[in-house]
Amino acid sequence: ENTSLKNDYEMTLTRQTEIKPCEEDDNDIPEIKYDLVPISELANLEARTSVDTIGICKEVGELQTFPSGKKRRELTLVDSSNAAVILNLWNEDAVNFDGHVQQQVILVKGAR
């Protein structure tokens, strides 16, 4: 499989797929909330601020290993603000990241 998602399940939608609203009022379904910040505004934030952002992956760097044993992979993300940012993945995330995601959307939650 060619996926970067670490989920047990996957849905595939086709032209024949029908999506219908759930008629039940179930408040037990948790919502995931994002406070998306455009990439162009990241430089204006205080250092070490936790941030959510979204962008297109334009470049995936090679896995780097440092003398300390730490591993890093750099991703370059761009968005509609025409700004770019380098996202560093560390250790297990860097090793396990699927490098074939160029031109795909990457949503980052809680990055610093």
Beta carbons of 111 and 87 less than 8 angstroms apart: yes
**Mean pLDDT of the 14-42 span:** 84
Q: Is residue 103 a part of any domain in this protein?
A: yes
Q: Please report whether residue 83 resides in a domain.
A: yes
Alpha helix ranges (H) inside the chain: 91-96
Q: Which of 67, 65, 54 is nearest to 90 (CA)?
A: 65
Q: So what's the pLDDT on residue 1? A: 46
* Residue of higher predicted confidence among 12 and 19: 19
Q: For the domain that residue 81 is a member of, what is the CATH number? A: 2.40.50.140
Each residue's pLDDT tens digit, 80-102 = 988 999 999 999 999 998 777 77
CA distance 26 to 65: 47
**Best CA proximity match to 52, nearest among 35, 39, 31, 33:** 35
In a domain, 26, yes or no: no
